[in-house]
Structure 1
Amino acid sequence: MAPSLDGLVFAPVADQAPGQVGTRTRFAYHERDGRVWAEYAGGDVVRGYLVGTREGDRLDFRYVQLRTDGTTASGHCVSQVAELPDGRLRLAESWEWESRPGSGTSVVESVTARPEDCAAGH
């Protein structure tokens, strides 16, 4: 199983469609006892929250967000957690809106490795 998400900040590797999460969006993750949650904002998202569970390297969560145009949206996402060679984590996501039509996939990666994953002097 990949390391804990707790305290990590993730960013998308590519922009999604306008009005959705993009490369300027940042997700601040928390994890404890199989539960995960995060706050996110940036780009077209003023404020967003996700909450769900982790079983092994699989996340299952619901999300809700407020966009800059004043609209809200919500959906469901299942993510696979993987550790990158440099110690950062990647989440390969399959998501679907529940508040409107639409679904897709995306990838987010932790912005930096944990300090304990870096060699001394780097």
Structure 2
Amino acid sequence: MCNAITAISPMTTINYNNRKFRSVENTSNGDVSGETLFHYRQKGDAVWATYEGGNIHFGTLTAKVGADNHLEMRYSHVNTDGELKTGKCHSSPKLLPDGRLRLHEKWQWTGEDQSSGESIIEEVRE
């Protein structure tokens, strides 16, 4: 059995609808942690999600699915310090050996703090 994480074929169409994800890695300037749960929805090439937990009181994201299943998104949330934060993100999917999705993300804050970072979120199954 292969334990490698694999790229997803451009011929494959991912349906993000009703998938849930948790952060497994994030740069230190990010607010999301392993306690943050994302719940994705999809209609056509439009994807949206809500997220909360850890340092996130509540957040939303809106994305468009690209031809290679990547997501171009914008997000906003209120953290537990009461700050409203916004950003943009490019998310690339990979397939884990057990069939779950892993999203590799490159993001940037769009408020006063223009710093950027990288994170990884993985699909969770209940």
2:17 matches 1:6: yes
Distance 1:3 1:85 in 2: 16
Counting aligned pairs with the same residue, the percent is 35
Distance 1:18 1:107 in 2: 14
2:68 matches 1:68: no
Greater CA drift, 1-10 or 70-79 = 1-10
Number of residue equivalences: 113
Stretches of structure 2 that go unaligned for 5 or more consecutive residues are 1-11
Distance 2:101 2:18 in 1: 12
Residues 91 and 108 of structure 1 are in contact (CA less than 8 Å); yes or no, is this contact kept in structure 2?
Answer: yes
Alignment of 1:1-122 (within 5 A): 1=12, 3-17=14-28, 20-55=31-66, 56-99=68-111, 100-112=113-125
Residues 60-91 of structure 1 deviation map (CA, whole Å, 9 limit, x = unaligned): 01000001111110000000012211010010
Stretches of structure 1 that go unaligned for 5 or more consecutive residues are 114-122
Give 2:99's aligned amino acid: G
Q: TM-score, normalised by structure 1?
A: 0.86
Give 1:6's aligned amino acid: N
Residues 6 and 31 of structure 1 are in contact (CA less than 8 Å); yes or no, is this contact kept in structure 2?
Answer: yes
Q: How large is the RMSD of aligned CA atoms in angstroms?
A: 1.6
Residues 83-117 of structure 1 deviation map (CA, whole Å, 9 limit, x = unaligned): 2110100100000000122101110000128xxxx
**SS of corresponding position for 1:14:** strand
Q: After TM superposition, what 4+ stretches of structure 1 lie above 3 angstroms from structure 2?
A: none
Distance 1:23 1:97 in 2: 20
